[in-house]
Amino acid sequence: MRNMKRILGYVLMLAALAVPVSAQPIEPPRPPEPPPLPQAPPQAPAGDASAQRVTIPFSDPSRPGTVEMDIVMGNITIKGTSRRDVLVEARTGTGFVPRPPRRRTDDEPPPPGLRRLTQNGGFSVEEDKNTVSIDVGPPRHIDFTIEVPLRTNLNIETVMGSIVVEGVEGELEVESVNGSVTLTNVGGSVVAHTVNGKLTATIARPAPQQPMAFTSMNGSVDVTLPAAVKANLKLRSDQGDVYTDFDLQLRRESSNPNPNPDVDARRNGRARVIDVDNAIYGSVNGGGPDFEMRTFNGNVYVRKGK
Amino acid sequence: MEHEKLGRLLPDGVEQREADELDATWRMLGAIDAPAPDSERMRARLDAVIDAVEQTQAPARPREVRTYVLQGLAAAAVLVIGISIGWYARPGGSAFGGTRPPSDTSSVSEIAAMRSEMHDLREMVSLSLMQQQSASERIKGVTWTGQLDRPSGEIVTALLDALMHDPNVNVRLATIDALERFASRDDVRRGTIDAVQRQASPLVQIALIDFMVKTNERESVATLRQLAMDPQVNDAVRARAAWGLQQLG
């Protein structure tokens, strides 16, 4: 009897695991997809002489796609729009970077009777499995302005440059080393970091149950969250102060229950407790996923949005 | 609503918390992306099947709807069954005045087996979250390890691996918090000391120095001294390392 129950239990557990899996592939039959469009060739710059535009579609525009890029020099601006594909506009930057020895402007017309074979603009755009990847070859300064569908995941990094994201909803991963990071009116989940810049974020629609993190080494962290947001905040500034207008329920421990952090401090026979962790833990509106806001040199601001 | 239904189905004196945790586990499992079957051959085969079905059966719609309803019902039924197993498996009501004491050793071992299975399941969820493409999901996986009673070595290894190799600074920062409870393990001591030298991010280096001080990690003294002397290292990190040496000295 007992054995039977146990076996039954195993079987049911397996069944429970199997259901979501088996339910996955049965989707309403879709019309066969058109073959992926060939990548649009770089269009002749319209109006702006130094800008180059490329549009590239997602292979499955019905699902949120991902845009990823990791560049060394240049600013990146990304805007959520009603379009279904991705428009990449690139401008070779001015200043900041030593010019390449052989001076060549990208909009230079080909000599008479010849056509240019090299890719325009020194960057490439590719799409694979609903991910658009933007690559810049050898480091050169290029500023990007990219228009994406409203719901798009981002994975964006630059070393020498700032990042601006406006009105995009999705999993947003943004990192700069020597520039500021500014996120305006975004939704979903944000994981952002800058080493030497200021980090500013206004979150309009946080994804439920998704942790977020906003960190900087040498800049302030300034985050505006919806007034009704449910979250557990972990706030910390080593050299600065932490400010908020949220009604913060302070807690001693993080949501990550740490049964006894001081046990190990005593393990050498010396009962010595050093309070290093000067982080402030608190929950707003009853608590929710963990949001970490942290900087070393600078202040942390957590503001209540409208 | 779900709870009321379950309340009617199940014996008294059962604990709400356990059910909620299970519920959360199922939801986490649901959140994990199933690998998308995007091979072209599968696509072609599926299209062929769909074509064949469409040709032979004229009114396809009601069938679809029925399939969905059946799927929904099956999922709901399995969820209910899963939760009842969880409830059934909790040790004989010890927390709530013992309405259902374990009757014999076999039921005790059965419960233990169920528990360990639940534990494995949670570990599995944490580990697979840590493998996700999204940094937010990986942070979730890292913090979830904090809810495991006795995490296996596999979890600790995964955390150390994330500390060393995760491309996202914020994920690496989160692993340092999660590793604190394992600070007495040899591999964690070695791993964190190794990491403090190799980290590219000064914020993570400082968090690791704080970790050494907090856990009174004397083995780190040589490494901290090196950091404090190295002119290539970020000034704030060097200052922090010097402070750490003072604290540990």
Per-residue model confidence as pLDDT tens digits over A141-185: 889 999 999 999 999 999 999 999 999 999 999 999 999 999 999
pLDDT of residue B47 exceeding 90, the answer is no
Give me the pLDDT at residue B215, please. 87
C-beta of residue A222 within 8 angstroms of C-beta of residue A198: yes
CA distance B31 to B27: 6
Which range, of B51-55, B144-148, B194-198, averages the lowest pLDDT? B51-55
Matching residue, tokens 């960190």:
A215
Mean pLDDT of chain B: 80
Give me the pLDDT at residue A49, please. 47
Give me the pLDDT at residue B16, please. 72
SS3 B183: coil
pLDDT of residue A100 exceeding 70, the answer is no
The letter for the amino acid at A129 is: K
Contact: A264, B117; criterion CB under 8 Å: no
Contact: B78, A277; criterion CB under 8 Å: no
Which contiguous run of DSSP H or E holds residue B157? helix B153-165
Who has greater pLDDT, A62 or B59?
Answer: A62
Give me the pLDDT at residue B70, please. 78
Percent above pLDDT 70 for chain A: 67
Chain A residues touching B124 at Cβ < 8 A: none
Contact: B214, A129; criterion CB under 8 Å: no
Selected for mutation to probe chain B from A4, A27, A173, A223 (highest B CB count within 10 Å) is A173
Contact: A173, B34; criterion CB under 8 Å: no
Contact: B180, A261; criterion CB under 8 Å: yes
Which range, of A150-154, B3-7, B151-155, averages the lowest pLDDT? B3-7
Nearest to B247 among A192, A263, A274 (CB): A274
CA distance A243 to A224: 12
What's the pLDDT band for B57 if we cut at 50, 70, 90? low
Is residue A48 within 8 angstroms of chain B, CB to CB?
no
Backbone angles phi, psi at B227, to 5 degrees: -60, -45
Contact: A258, B134; criterion CB under 8 Å: no
pLDDT of residue B105 exceeding 90, the answer is no
Chain A residues touching B30 at Cβ < 8 A: 20
Contact: A296, B82; criterion CB under 8 Å: no
Which range, of A192-201, B115-124, B151-160, averages the lowest pLDDT? B115-124
Is residue A32 within 8 angstroms of chain B, CB to CB?
yes
Both tokens assigned to A149: 């569908």
CA angle A159, A164, A166 (to 5 degrees): 150
DSSP A97: S
For residue A101, give every residue at least 6 positions away whose Cβ sits within 8 Å of its Cβ, in sequence order, or none.
none
Matching residue, tokens 């199940």:
B10
pLDDT of residue B193 exceeding 50, the answer is yes
Give me the pLDDT at residue B141, please. 94
Which contiguous run of DSSP H or E holds residue B26? helix B16-31
Give me the pLDDT at residue B134, please. 93
SS3 A102: coil
> Nearest CA of chain B to the CA of A105: how many Å?
35
Contact: B203, A217; criterion CB under 8 Å: yes
Which range, of B88-92, B118-122, B228-232, averages the lowest pLDDT? B88-92
Half-sphere exposure of B82 (CA within 13 A, CB side): 26
Who has greater pLDDT, A194 or B78?
Answer: A194
CA distance B81 to A12: 7
Average pLDDT over residues B199-207: 93
Sequence length of chain B is 249
Who has greater pLDDT, B64 or B37?
Answer: B64
Q: What is the ipTM of this complex?
A: 0.71
pLDDT of residue A51 exceeding 50, the answer is yes
Helices (H) and strands (E) in chain B, counts: 12, 0
Contact: A274, B214; criterion CB under 8 Å: yes
Who has greater pLDDT, B51 or A191?
Answer: A191
CA distance A184 to A206: 13
Strands (E), chain A: 51-56, 65-73, 76-81, 86-92, 123-128, 131-136, 142-149, 152-160, 163-166, 169-176, 181-194, 199-206, 212-216, 221-225, 231-237, 242-244, 249-251, 280-284, 290-295, 300-304
> Nearest CA of chain B to the CA of A266: how many Å?
8
Who has greater pLDDT, B117 or B13?
Answer: B117
DSSP B34: P
Give me the pLDDT at residue A150, please. 96
Give me the pLDDT at residue B242, please. 94
C-beta of residue A9 within 8 angstroms of C-beta of residue B85: yes
> Nearest CA of chain A to the CA of B97: how many Å?
24
Percent above pLDDT 90 for chain B: 34
CA distance A212 to A192: 8
Average pLDDT over residues A46-70: 83
Q: Which of A33-47, A167-181, B120-134 has the highest mean pLDDT?
A: A167-181
> Nearest CA of chain A to the CA of B47: how many Å?
7
Give me the pLDDT at residue A204, please. 96
Nearest to A211 among B117, B140, B215 (CB): B140
Nearest to B147 among A216, A257, A276 (CB): A257
pLDDT of residue A43 exceeding 50, the answer is no
C-beta of residue A206 within 8 angstroms of C-beta of residue A224: no
pLDDT of residue A88 exceeding 50, the answer is yes
pLDDT of residue B91 exceeding 80, the answer is no
For residue B67, give every residue at least 6 positions away whose Cβ sits within 8 Å of its Cβ, in sequence order, or none.
A26
Q: What is the pTM of this model?
A: 0.68
Who has greater pLDDT, A25 or B24?
Answer: B24
pLDDT of residue B160 exceeding 50, the answer is yes
What's the pLDDT band for B6 if we cut at 50, 70, 90? low
Q: How far does CA B49 lie from the centroid of its chain?
A: 38
Q: What are the tens digits of pLDDT across the range A23-32?
A: 444 444 455 5
Give me the pLDDT at residue A218, please. 95
For A163, A186, A230, A285, B177, the CA distances from A205, given in Å and listed in that order, are 20, 7, 12, 15, 27
For residue A127, give every residue at least 6 positions away whose Cβ sits within 8 Å of its Cβ, in sequence order, or none.
A36, A39, A56, A57, A58, A59, A133
For residue A122, give every residue at least 6 positions away whose Cβ sits within 8 Å of its Cβ, in sequence order, or none.
A92, A106, A136, A137, A138, A140, A142
SS3 A131: strand
Q: What are the tens digits of pLDDT across the range A245-299?
A: 999 988 765 444 443 444 444 444 444 555 566 789 999 999 999 999 999 999 9
